[in-house]
């Protein structure tokens, strides 16, 4: 098995000769284009609109759904037996879509933080496992 490990490391050297064709220039251009793209909106309208607008839209949507006559009348299944077992939401508001509209922060960062917390907890448990190879 030691021979196999030695050979794996030695053979990996063959691949180490491979280089990416992505150049510094192309990465710089991509970053510059990305920055231009993200700055463009702030140059045409006030920055506070970036967060105020989605909140205003979400609030307006919520107000519209609440204020519209009949919107709080929940659908009732025709069959009374079915009505007894069919769970009906207490509100007709589509909370998820409202959250999506209201959310402007990149979710990737939050996702990373959540994963990191989970892994930390998992690794703490695993450190107590007598797993050695």
Nearer to another protein, 13 or 90 (CB): 13
Measure the CA–CA gap between 64 and 78, rounded to whole angstroms: 27
Tell which one of 44, 73, 109, 128 touches another protein (CB under 8 A).
109
Q: Does 35 bind another protein (CB under 8 A)?
A: yes
Render 3-42 in DSSP notation, one character per residue.
HHHHHHHHHHHHHHT------HHHHHHHHHHHHHHHHHHH
Residues 79/116, Cβ–Cβ less than 8 Å? no
Residues 102/58, Cβ–Cβ less than 8 Å? yes
Q: Does 40 bind another protein (CB under 8 A)?
A: no
Angle separating helix axes 95-102 and 48-67, nearest 10 degrees: 160
Tell which one of 76, 77, 95, 112 touches another protein (CB under 8 A).
112
Q: Does 128 bind another protein (CB under 8 A)?
A: no
**Residue 22 Cβ, how far from another protein at the closest point, in Å?**
5
**Residue 112 Cβ, how far from another protein at the closest point, in Å?**
5
Q: Does 121 bind another protein (CB under 8 A)?
A: no
Q: Does 114 bind another protein (CB under 8 A)?
A: no
Query: Which one, of 54, 35, 68, lies nearest residue 97 by Cα?
Result: 54
> What DSSP designation does 105 have?
S
Binding interface with another protein (CB under 8 A): 1, 4-5, 7-9, 11-16, 18-22, 24, 26-28, 30-32, 34-35, 106, 108-109, 112-113, 115-116, 119, 122-123, 126-127, 129, 131-133
């Amino acid at each position: 098995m030691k021979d196999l490990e030695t050979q794996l490391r030695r053979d990996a050297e063959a691949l180490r000769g491979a280089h990416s064709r992505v150049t510094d220039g192309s990465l710089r251009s991509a970053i510059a284009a990305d920055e231009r793209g993200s700055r463009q909106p702030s140059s045409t309208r006030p920055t506070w609109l970036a967060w105020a607008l989605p909140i205003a839209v979400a609030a307006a949507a919520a107000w519209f759904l609440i204020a519209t006559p009949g919107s709080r009348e929940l659908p009732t299944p025709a069959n009374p037996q079915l009505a007894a077992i069919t769970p009906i939401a207490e509100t007709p508001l589509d909370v998820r879509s409202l959250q999506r509209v209201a959310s402007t922060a990149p979710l990737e960062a939050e996702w990373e933080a959540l994963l990191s917390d989970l892994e930390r907890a998992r690794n703490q448990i695993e450190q107590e496992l007598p797993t050695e190879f």
